[in-house]
Structures are given as structure tokens and as C-alpha cells.
Amino acid sequence: MLNRVAKPTTKIIVVGNPANTNALICSHAAPNIPNKNFSALTRLDQNRAVNQIAQRARCKVTDVKNLVIWGNHSKTQFPDSFSASVNGRPVREELGNDEHAWLDSEFISRVQNRGAEIISQLGKSSAASAANAICDHVRDLHHGTKDGRCVSMAVVSDGNPYGIPDNLVYSFPVTITDGEWSFVPGLKINEFMRAKLDESTNELIEERALAFEQH
């Protein structure tokens, strides 16, 4: 139906899990719409990560910039403290060496498992937070990103500069201009980050194999 009636300029945002692979399936099912117009929501994960850093740094969430999510909207996602800043300083410098162990373990785990934690505590998912994240995602698609800011968006991986295989929907740092997103180039990927990115890549490859085996 989407392929028959939607305009080629339609933007499709997938939220239902497994969101990344569902977005990939949807893009294959609607070839009349450019696959770059399909995305999956990882902004909720970004917002959670930003909140964690703001609490730790004792600053406002608006002081935290470019803290993005790589990979799958799952427990393999990687919230990237290496590329982020607080009040213009790299997060890892702002928090100091004593906090690096927290950044590389508890922080990552807390963001990865926050959704399950909320369901465990409240008996339901965080629908209001998800709705707010969707609004953030749509607002940035409409208005664009400015002042050197980038955001998290799970998008088609084709042609990315970070070695992620093509034909996946993977969360990357992107900038947006006139409704079109672009990969943020030139970020340094260290060995620790590469292992995390590869873990999420492998999970998405497995999901893709299962999805297209059944469709």
C-alpha cells in the first residue's frame, strides 16, 4: 500500500521494534520511495544518554552536544562519549580520568537497558518519552541541524564512511539540511568503539538474514 499511494518524497519513521530491521523491511517493500527516506528512531536512546551525562557533569541537558548512538536500537547500541562535548569541552575531559571507567561500562549499560528498566519498574513502556523523541526526530528533519550539531538517526548504511556493511539500517551521527540527512564524516573510531560498532553490526546482519528468510 505504501509503495502504491505514498509520494516519493514521503519520510517514513519506524518506531516499533525491531525498529532498525523493520525500517529495512519497509524500505524493500516500497521501492518507489528512496531508501534514504526511511529511518528508525534512536533519538530516545540519545536523549537518555544525554540525561545520564548531564546528571554526571551537573549541567543542563542543553550543555551536552553531539552525544550520539551507533548501531541497533537494542542492547547492543553504543552511546558514544568519545565524540560528545559538555560546554564545548570533550565529555571525557570535562568529567575527568576518574570517570572513564564509568563512561566505558555503567554508562553504556544503563543506556542500553533503560527501556527494560522502565518496564520493570512501571510495568509499561515510556510512551511519553518515546513520543517526545519522535517529535525531536521530526523537528530536526524539518528544521535541520545547526551550529555544528549532529543527532542520532538509524538510516540506510549504504555508502557510510565507517565501514558498516551496506543494506542495513544503522544508527549514525548525522546532520540534516533541507530535509536531507548526511553522515557526519571524520569521527575517530578507536579499538574500543570498533568492537562495540561491530557487535551491533553483527546483530543487525543476523536480524536481516532472519527477516528476509521469512519474507
Mind telling me the catalytic residues?
A: 73
Contact predicate 154/19, CB 8 Å: yes
C-alpha cell at 172: 549514525
Rounded to the nearest 10 degrees, how much is the dihedral formed by the CA atoms of 86, 88, 93, 99? 0
82 φ/ψ angles, rounded to the nearest 5 degrees = -75, -30
Helix axes 19-29, 191-214, angle to 10 degrees: 50
- Residue 132 CB burial class (10 angstroms; 0-12, 13-18, ≥19): middle
The DSSP 8-state label assigned to residue 97 in this structure reads G
Q: What span, in angstroms and rounded, lies between the C-alpha atoms of 1 and 21?
A: 19
Instruction: Judge whether 124 and 26 are in contact, CB under 8 Å.
Output: no
